[in-house]
C-alpha cells in the first residue's frame, strides 16, 4: 500500500507501471501532507484510516 | 532494432518529436537511419549491444538508441566515445539514476572529461566551459540528457519531478583544464593512467559561485581561500548539510588552484582540509530546519568523507571558482561514478556528410 499525494499521483502511475506493478494498491492523499502540522495530520489520518484498512484487506492475497 | 517512424519531411518529423515529448524543448537533428548508423559506426560497437536498463522507465540502452539521441543532440562521430562512456557511467547502479531522475531536487549529471579524448572530441575546460559556445561540451551533455529523456523516460511532472530543474539539465559537460592545473588529472584519483581517457560523472546542482581575491603577501591566503570554499560547501540550505553526505564538486579556476599548490597542497590535501572546514553549527540547523535537526551539538560535516569531494581545475583565470552541492540522497547517497573512454575501438569518420 502506497500513500501518494495528488501532486505525485501521475509519478505513482509511472513508477508502478515501470516496476511492473500497475495494480499496486495506492491511496490518494491531498497535497501537501508534510509540514501541515500535527493536528492536520491527525485529522487526515482519522479521515482515511477506515479506507486504508479496507483497501489493504481487499488487496491481501486470499 | 528500433521502430522506424516516417514523416512527410524533416520539419514534420521535428514537430512529431516535440509533440511526443522526445526533445528537451529545443530543435533537434532528425535521427534518420543514415545519421544514426553513422554514429553507431563511429562508436565501434554493435548497434544492438545493450548496456543495460535506464531508470526510471527501464528502457533498453542499446548503442543504437544512444546513437539516435546523440544525433538529435547534434553530436558528430568524434563525440561518440565520450557519450558512450558517460552513459556507461550513469548506468552504474551506485548512481541511482532512476531515483535521481525522479527526485524533486535540482540535480543533473555533470560530465567531466579527462585525457586525450578531450582533444579528439573537442571538449574544452577553459573560459566559459559550462556556458554556451562550445560544440562538444554542448552536444555531449545534451546527448546524455536526451538519452535520459527518451530511454530513461524522464518527463517533467510525470517521472522527472524536479520542482524547478536547472539549466544544467539541458547539458552539463566540460573537460578538466589539465594543462592549467598544478596537479595530476582528476581521473588519476580513480586509478586511471594520466594518458588514458575517462569520464567522471557526479550528480550536481548548478554552480554556486565562490569569490576570492588572493593576497600573495598574506601567508594565510591559501587557508582563507579554503575557508571561503568550505563556507559554500556547508551552506545552510544544502542537502549535503541536512543529509550529511553525498559527493560535492569544487571547480577551482587555475589561479585559485595555483594559490593552493604554491602552499604545497596537493589535491588530496585540499580535499582533506575542505572536509575539515566544511561544517555547519548543529544549533543553527536545529533553529532553521528542525525537521533535519541533528541529535548532538557536534558541528555537522557537509562532507562525510574527503573522497566524496570532486576537486578539479577548469575555467578561465580570475576571482571565481565554483561549488556544486548535490542531491545527497538515494540508496547510495549520490556518489561519484566514472568510466573509461574507449578511443581504440572508435572508428574515424569524415565529419561532413
A33, A48 in Cβ contact below 8 A? no
Report the distance separating Cα B75 and Cα B144, nearest Å: 11
Contacts of A15 in chain B (CB under 8 A): 56, 102, 159
pLDDT at residue number A62: 67
Report the distance separating Cα B329 and Cα B101, nearest Å: 12
Report the distance separating Cα B135 and Cα B74, nearest Å: 8
**Per DSSP, what are the bridge partners of residue B339?**
B199
pLDDT tens, residue by residue, B139-196:
999 999 999 999 999 999 999 999 999 999 999 999 999 999 999 999 999 999 999 9
Distance of CA B4 to the CA centre of its chain: 31
> What's the whole-number mean pLDDT along residues B264-285?
96
Contact yes or no for A18 and B157 at CB 8 A:
no
Which alpha helices (H) appear in chain B, and where do they start and end? Answer: 10-19, 33-43, 63-73, 80-90, 97-102, 117-121, 135-150, 221-233, 239-243, 254-262, 267-277, 282-288
Our CA-based measurement puts residue B277 at a distance from the nearest CA of chain A, in whole angstroms, of 32
Query: According to the per-residue pLDDT averaged within each range, which of A22-26, A56-60, B277-281 is highest?
Result: B277-281
pLDDT tens, residue by residue, B225-236:
999 999 999 999
Nearest-CB residue to A10 (from B153, B158, B291): B158
> What's the whole-number mean pLDDT along residues B29-43?
97
Contact yes or no for B153 and A18 at CB 8 A:
yes
pLDDT reading at B353 higher than 60: no
pLDDT interval class at B350 (50, 70, 90):
low
B203, B141 in Cβ contact below 8 A? no
Is A8 an interface residue toward B (CB < 8 Å)? yes
Contacts of A18 in chain B (CB under 8 A): 55-58, 153, 159
Is A14 an interface residue toward B (CB < 8 Å)? yes
Distance of CA B82 to the CA centre of its chain: 12
- Look up the pTM and report it: 0.94
Q: Compute the CA torsion angle A20, A26, A30, A36 (nearest 10 deg).
A: -100
- Asked, as a colleague might, if the bond just before B69 is cis with ω within 30 of 0, I would say no
Amino acid at each position: 500500500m502506497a500513500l501518494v499525494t495528488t501532486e505525485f499521483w501521475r509519478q505513482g502511475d509511472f513508477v508502478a507501471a515501470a516496476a511492473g506493478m500497475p495494480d499496486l494498491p495506492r491511496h490518494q492523499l491531498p497535497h501537501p501532507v508534510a509540514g501541515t502540522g500535527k493536528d492536520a495530520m491527525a485529522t487526515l489520518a482519522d479521515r482515511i484510516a477506515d479506507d486504508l484498512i479496507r483497501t489493504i484487506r481487499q488487496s491481501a492475497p486470499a | 532494432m528500433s521502430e522506424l517512424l516516417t514523416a512527410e519531411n524533416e520539419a514534420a518529423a521535428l514537430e512529431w518529436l516535440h509533440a511526443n515529448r522526445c526533445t528537451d524543448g529545443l530543435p533537434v537533428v532528425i535521427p534518420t537511419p543514415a545519421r544514426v548508423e553513422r554514429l553507431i559506426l563511429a562508436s565501434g560497437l554493435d548497434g544492438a549491444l545493450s548496456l543495460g536498463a535506464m531508470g526510471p522507465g527501464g528502457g533498453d540502452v542499446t548503442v543504437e538508441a544512444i546513437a539516435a539521441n546523440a544525433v538529435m543532440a547534434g553530436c558528430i562521430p568524434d563525440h561518440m566515445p565520450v557519450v558512450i562512456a558517460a552513459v556507461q557511467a550513469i548506468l552504474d547502479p551506485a548512481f541511482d539514476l532512476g531515483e535521481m531522475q525522479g527526485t524533486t531536487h535540482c540535480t543533473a549529471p555533470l560530465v567531466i572529461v579527462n585525457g586525450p579524448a578531450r582533444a579528439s572530441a573537442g571538449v574544452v575546460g577553459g573560459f566559459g566551459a559550462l556556458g554556451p559556445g562550445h560544440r562538444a561540451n554542448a552536444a555531449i551533455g545534451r546527448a546524455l540528457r536526451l538519452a535520459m529523456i527518451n530511454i530513461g523516460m524522464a518527463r517533467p511532472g510525470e517521472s522527472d519531478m524536479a520542482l524547478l530543474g536547472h539549466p544544467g539539465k539541458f547539458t552539463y559537460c566540460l573537460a578538466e583544464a589539465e594543462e592549467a592545473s598544478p596537479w595530476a588529472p582528476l581521473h588519476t584519483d580513480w586509478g586511471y593512467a594520466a594518458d588514458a581517457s575517462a569520464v567522471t560523472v557526479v550528480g550536481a546542482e548548478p554552480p554556486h559561485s565562490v569569490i576570492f581575491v588572493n593576497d600573495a603577501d598574506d601567508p594565510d591566503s591559501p587557508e582563507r581561500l579554503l575557508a571561503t570554499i568550505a563556507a559554500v560547501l556547508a551552506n545552510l540550505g544544502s542537502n549535503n548539510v541536512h543529509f550529511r553526505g553525498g559527493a560535492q564538486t569544487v571547480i577551482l579556476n587555475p589561479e585559485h588552484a595555483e594559490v593552493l599548490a604554491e602552499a604545497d597542497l596537493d589535491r588530496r590535501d585540499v580535499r582533506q582540509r575542505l572536509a575539515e572546514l566544511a561544517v555547519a553549527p548543529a544549533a543553527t540547523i536545529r533553529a532553521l530546519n528542525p525537521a533535519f535537526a541533528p541529535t548532538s551539538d557536534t558541528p555537522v560535516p557537509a562532507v562525510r568523507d574527503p573522497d566524496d569531494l570532486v576537486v578539479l581545475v577548469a575555467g578561465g583565470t580570475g576571482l571565481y571558482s565554483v561549488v556544486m552541492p548535490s542531491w545527497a540522497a538515494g540508496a547510495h547517497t549520490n556518489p561519484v561514478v566514472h568510466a573509461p573512454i574507449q578511443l581504440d575501438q572508435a572508428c574515424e569518420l569524415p565529419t561532413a556528410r
